[in-house]
Amino acid sequence: MTMAADSITNSWLNATLVAAYLALLGTLLTIAVNGYIARKSRRRDQFAEALAVVVEYWEFPYVVRRRRHDEPAAERVRISEELRDVQRRLAFHQAWIRTESRHVASIYDELVVATRTIIGGQIRDAWAGSAITEDSEMNISNVSFDGLTEIQKRFLEVVVEELSLWPMWLRRKKRAGT
């Protein structure tokens, strides 16, 4: 083989190795980006589900007031089982969020505690009252979300910040106001 042939072979081999390396690098980068996007999407869905469970709890003063008056024992069991399921899911989401982000967990815990305090009191009041018996009683006006909507808004702001594309150190700096 001549020196010119060796040079052509080496150039071809080098070009092939560079192309293979770039293809591998592109594949790895695609896998990393897709994984990052999938993780963000999964976290977004879980944070939304966590909030949905809180809002589901907010509905219980209505559920209790609108219970069937003709089957009180069955209604107590039905509603307490539904409430037990919501409580279980609240606990699940509190634990899950704690593993994902202490910052989000802090505000979610605040939202859950406030929900249990404010709405829990309204649920107790609803049990103390009579079940509705007429269609005209379906509109219930004495349920209040005062104090909860502001915490809910802060929770959503923290989640948006958590899911931001900006690095955490930059988000913390922004949050600190510097």
Residue 29 domain-assigned (yes or no): no
Query: In whole numbers, what is the pLDDT of the chain averaged over residues?
Result: 88
Cα–chain center distance at 15: 48
For the segment 100-113, what is each residue's pLDDT rounded down to a tens digit? 999 999 999 999 99
* Whole-number pLDDT of residue 16: 83
Residue 133 domain-assigned (yes or no): yes
Q: What is the mean pLDDT of residues 33-62?
A: 91
Query: Domain span at residue 98?
Result: 41-176
Residue 100 domain-assigned (yes or no): yes
* Whole-number pLDDT of residue 2: 59
Residue 114 domain-assigned (yes or no): yes
In SS3 terms, 92-135 reads as: HHHHHHHHHCHHHHHHHHHHHHHHHHHHHHHHHHHHHCCCCCCH
Residue 1 domain-assigned (yes or no): no
Q: What is the mean pLDDT of residues 155-169?
A: 85
Q: Is the predicted pLDDT of residue 178 greater than 60, yes or no? A: no
Q: How far apart are CA 145 and CA 95, in angstroms?
A: 25
Which contiguous run of DSSP H or E holds residue 5? helix 3-58
- Least Cα distance to 55 among 65, 66, 43, 63 occurs for 63
* Whole-number pLDDT of residue 6: 62
What is the residue whose two structure tokens read 């690098």? 25
Residue 3 domain-assigned (yes or no): no
For the segment 74-92, what is each residue's pLDDT rounded down to a tens digit? 999 999 999 999 999 999 9
For the segment 3-24, what is each residue's pLDDT rounded down to a tens digit? 555 666 667 767 788 888 888 8
The number of domains in the chain is: 1
**Which token pair is 134?**
């007429």
Residue 134 domain-assigned (yes or no): yes
In terms of C-beta density within 10 A (0-12 exposed, 13-18 middle, 19 or more buried), how is residue 171 classed?
A: middle
Residue 98 domain-assigned (yes or no): yes
